[in-house]
Amino acid sequence: MRIVPVHFDHPDARKLNDEVQLEYAERYGDEGDVTPLDPSMFTPPRGLYLLAYDDAETPVATGGWRGQEQNEEGYTDGDAELKRMYVVRRARGQGLARRILAELESDARAAGRKRMVLETGTMQPEALALYTSSGYAPTQKFGLYRFEPQSRCFAKHL
């Protein structure tokens, strides 16, 4: 597996983003994550977007972070927010999400971010297991889905 930084609007990133949106719709019965995201949010040093390719150069996993500061949605100064962590079904169970997560944490730390935060949901038990086993703890809800009962927010000090 090869993990490389790409632009959020890279064609392979868009392809996997479309796939994760379909999975969100399957799990939650809605239109997917409607959080407004702009490619510039993931441009270093204010963020980073990673794509993993298998040996056949097929994109199989993705994830990114974007910088956040204190605002009305509950973020704190120095936050790095995880977005679009996703592994295609056929590549799950190989540790890709954990590898991407570690690279994103390292990059956010190097960029001066103080805390990595994320929002996931109760219909994503794999995500809940990954984050809790990686040192993330429940935190006060933030972001677009902070009032949704299925929403779960986590944080880890970098």
Q: How far is CA 59 from the centre of its chain?
A: 16
Give the pLDDT confidence of 92-116 residue by residue, as tens digits: 999 999 999 999 999 999 999 999 9
Q: What is the strand order of the sheet 2-5 is part of? A: 2-5, 47-53, 59-68, 79-87, 115-121, 151-157, 137-138
Q: Hey, what are 126's tokens?
A: 């794999």
Three-class DSSP category at 29:
coil
Q: How many residues does the chain have?
A: 158
Three-class DSSP category at 135:
coil
Give the pLDDT confidence of 21-79 residue by residue, as tens digits: 999 999 998 877 888 999 999 999 999 999 999 999 999 999 999 999 999 999 999 99
Q: What are the residue boundaries of the structural domains of the chain, listed by start?
A: 2-157
Domain 2-157 coded CATH 2.40.110.20: no
Q: Hey, what are 129's tokens?
A: 């297991």
